[in-house]
Chains A and B, each alone.
Chain A
């Protein structure tokens, strides 16, 4: 249990201290301390995950809350991802000093976000899960508000506020679902709930949970907070948002509705899948015409998370695996892309695709290579991380759960739940409808290829005459990019090394 405490308290306490002393600590001290804290947290996280460390003790026992922290197949990769990405975002500060506030505040905020994400992935108490879910809100709000793109203060304020209000609405809806479970079962311990799942109104509970978590994922049509937040946030903020915060949504979907209210989830899963596919197409189409590269990457996140939603919506074991791997893959790929786009923005002043610029492959081959790897992984090239998630998601949709789940869906038609179940009665069977979704999602993958190649053509090939070649990847950027590219390759070549098969939907070990 010591390891988990170190991994949580190191970023939490160091972050809080840096913020409190932000006027006294200099830039070097701040980044040094933050780097040590994140490295320490990474080490402790890896060790805790490897040794299956766990904590189980009451906290606020009067209202039945517990400090129950434990990792398993579902959370372990996300924990390591969070701790790893946190090291990289702090490292990024070495190259690109934060503007808009003191360094102490900046690194303190990054550490608090890490603390919130790690707690979310680690806890096994539903109410504590909700509290941890909320921890990231205020730090991210301040991060976008103070350190975001300084071209337009009004837009920055609006984006930051929209992020907070949207996600708070989502988590409040989720809270209603969580409380409905907790009041029925009489405990907020996930193990106790798994042993005696709620008997009544599972459908309602699952709807609340999916809706609430869907905001965070983000699911179409509640995704509209994402593009401005990702675009305006500083590079570190965009990376944390895309690589970690979005994962909290999908992780929550797996951990709460799918596991704890399986019957209810089975009924609304087709809706989840449909919304995911709409998101795939929606994001892909916008990416085809979007001019701002950072916003384009943000919309591509909507599309990629759509694949995760589709995979979960199939409510099958294969789909679950696809969701887990797609989640991880999107974490590293989007981190790479946002880092690289941040570097480009810093050098070019803007990342407007309409501006004619010299070819990246000639001016800065290192950055160009990183962009190409990111785009290739993003379009789902086999051998890279993005391939498995999307391929498996489509495969799972083509051949959904089979008898069991399809039956549940069919029954929900009879019992009056038909407003969410789109599959037409009689003529079109659920299976056929899922195959339709698979085909549309595959089209979405084609869209991804189209916009990725469009970006590659504009910035990698370039049109203007080449200029000074100085200013390619600095050593800090090189370290970050190399680490992420290695992760993308590793996930692409050995997906099952990080993802042993989870045993069915009962994912609590």
Chain B
């Protein structure tokens, strides 16, 4: 019956279906065998692995790989994976995998940081991941909105279940922001349908809407609402306020999830929204100019404010929260140019940022779990890390340098080059200037942390050995290896997305 209405290619859908099924299986297993705490992690890893394993299928299939296609004459496909979507799905699934390894469900460590037991944590992560993986491939407004919420709500629950002091408060502020953002998105979608008469993101109907003066105005209003709603998810200034609060109360792994997987999903949503607007941005078009201006100003504000506040942060997680706000600006800046190259640049930048962030978060989780008085997270806990745990310090250093964009983390440098390229090409010199200043500010932010790491340790502090959970070890190793591999062959990261 359904097959008559739409065509379904399960392999193309697998990156979404695998984590969703995994979430379901984990819950069922928990009901059937409540004692089997150790089986949730392997099961979830298999689910994510299956999703990752299905990604090459979309590469070899027609580009873009399509499914859920309506029958002719309309023939629109509601699920399309373009190269950038593939790159985002890779970040989302691999990021979720590393986060799950960091959480270590089934171990004592998880119970120390997270309430609700392993099954709940794992299924929430998998559910949010399914929504996130869905988002870059959606092509119609209702599914887009559902995917955004599916990616967001479980993440809020994860923050709420954290054992950190004030977790409920942080989760509540995140929830309020999400509701506001949902409201903005809902209004935006309503206006979009009103303007275009179409519930899909289609360039043709946008072009038709632009030609009519009234509908044109409604469309612009709709874009404004939608951009604001997506801005919350990306944690771009001025929609960023939830980020430091949530990061400060949540566990490192959950923060890492918000900083990488959720951000990749948000970027996917933003690109899906902006792609049909390319028709607005022809030479000399006022609309193109305005959209560039709006997104460019958001990017400028995000990177500048994020870096300036991060410069003064003492809590490493707060520093990372502000740095993720700054990095959101770096993702938005090339995206503002609204060309296919700029989409690839934003996605490639995000990929590199995610790898660097995961390395930093994983090492932070290791260091903080070993520090006495787990409630206190301060940069000073890193003093002498280079001496105490050289390998951890190496991975942390590579991660921080990737974010700063300095060799030996060559991939970070290439990411900065790639992000700056479209902006220079478009001749937006005010934004180029802001980005140059922010390269320097960012270096100051991350070197400040690195400085503590290479500082000789306090002789009194004693060389307590860090005892790491095996999952966390694997996560750190994977993230570190990814930075090294991409630094030797940066083409891997950027070739994937264009």
Contacts and interface: CB of A to CB of B under 8 A. Distances in A.
A60 B406 contact: no
B414 A161 contact: no
Given A20-B394, A131-B413, A172-B436, A164 B491 contact: no
Interface in B372-429: 387, 390, 394, 401, 406-408, 410, 413-414, 416-418, 420-421, 424-425
A20 B406 contact: no
Contacts of B489: 59-60
Contacts of B473: none
A470 to B, nearest CB: 34
A23 interface: yes
A249 interface: no
B440 interface: yes
B43 interface: no
B443 A60 contact: no
B444 A169 contact: no
B425 A63 contact: no
Contacts of A180: 424
Interface string A151-188: 00000010001001100110011011001101100000
Contacts of B122: none
Contact of B494 (A62, A137, A164): A62
A20 B407 CA distance: 16
B216 interface: no
Nearest to B391: A20
B489 to A, nearest CB: 7
A142 B408 CA distance: 13
Given A23-B390, A161-B447, A134 B440 contact: no
Interface centre among A22, A130, A157, A176 (most CB of B within 10 A): A176
Contacts of B432: 176
Contacts of A173: 436
Contact of A137 (B407, B414, B491): B407
Contact of A63 (B418, B440, B444): B418
Contacts of B406: 134, 137-138, 168
A165 B440 contact: yes
A267 interface: no
B443 A130 contact: no
B387 to A, nearest CB: 7
Interface string A122-166: 000001001100110110011001100000000001000100110
A165 to B, nearest CB: 5
A132 to B, nearest CB: 8
A154 to B, nearest CB: 12
B443 A164 contact: yes
Contacts of A68: none
A179 B447 contact: no
B491 A61 contact: yes
A65 B420 CA distance: 16
Nearest to A61: B491
A116 B407 contact: yes
A476 B414 CA distance: 41
B163 interface: no
B498 interface: yes
B387 A60 contact: no
Contacts of A145: 451, 454
A179 B414 contact: no
B209 interface: no
A179 B491 contact: no
Main secondary structure of the interface of B (DSSP, over half): helix
Contacts of A61: 491, 495
B231 interface: no
B490 interface: yes
Interface in A95-134: 112, 116, 127, 130-131, 134
Nearest to A62: B495
Interface string A62-103: 110100000000000000000000000000000000000000
B439 A168 contact: yes
Main secondary structure of the interface of A (DSSP, over half): helix
Nearest to B401: A138
A16 interface: yes
A179 B424 contact: yes
B440 A65 contact: no
A61 B498 CA distance: 12
A60 B487 CA distance: 10
Given A61-B491, A63-B494, A183 B425 contact: yes
B243 to A, nearest CB: 26
**Interface range for B:** 20 to 34
B408 A60 contact: no
B436 A176 contact: yes
A168 B443 contact: yes
A135 B408 contact: yes
B139 to A, nearest CB: 26
B498 A165 contact: no
Contacts of B421: 179, 182-183
Contacts of B444: 161, 165
A172 B439 CA distance: 7
Contacts of A142: 454
B440 A60 contact: no
A131 B494 contact: no
A145 B489 CA distance: 30
B491 A62 contact: yes
A175 B440 CA distance: 13
Nearest to A204: B429
Contacts of B394: 20
Nearest to B345: A63
B410 A131 contact: yes
Given A131-B407, A175-B417, A180-B424, A60 B494 contact: yes
B388 to A, nearest CB: 11
A219 B443 CA distance: 23
A61 B495 CA distance: 8
Interface in A2-61: 16, 20, 22-23, 59-61
B407 A63 contact: no
A44 to B, nearest CB: 21
Nearest to B494: A63
Contacts of A63: 414, 418, 490-491, 494-495
B417 A130 contact: yes
B486 to A, nearest CB: 10
B447 A141 contact: yes
Nearest to B496: A62
Contacts of B440: 165, 168-169, 172
Contacts of A127: 414, 417
B456 to A, nearest CB: 8
Interface string B433-473: 00111011001100100010010000000000000000000
A23 B491 CA distance: 34
Nearest to A181: B424
A16 B491 contact: no
B340 to A, nearest CB: 14
B484 to A, nearest CB: 11
Contact of B407 (A60, A135, A183): A135
A97 B327 CA distance: 42
B369 to A, nearest CB: 23
A72 B390 CA distance: 41
B490 A60 contact: yes
Given A20-B394, A62-B494, A138 B417 contact: no
A157 B420 CA distance: 30
A146 B495 CA distance: 39
Given A23-B390, A183-B421, A62 B443 contact: no
Given A59-B489, A137-B406, A138-B401, 6 more contacts: A22-B390, A23-B390, A60-B490, A62-B491, A63-B495, A146-B454
The 6 closest A-B pairs by CB, nearest first: A62-B495, A60-B491, A183-B425, A179-B424, A62-B491, A135-B407
27 contacts: A22-B390, A61-B491, A61-B495, A62-B494, A62-B495, A62-B498, A63-B414, A63-B490, A63-B494, A63-B495, A65-B414, A112-B408, A127-B417, A130-B417, A131-B410, A131-B417, A135-B407, A137-B407, A141-B447, A161-B444, A164-B443, A168-B439, A168-B443, A169-B439, A172-B436, A183-B421, A183-B424
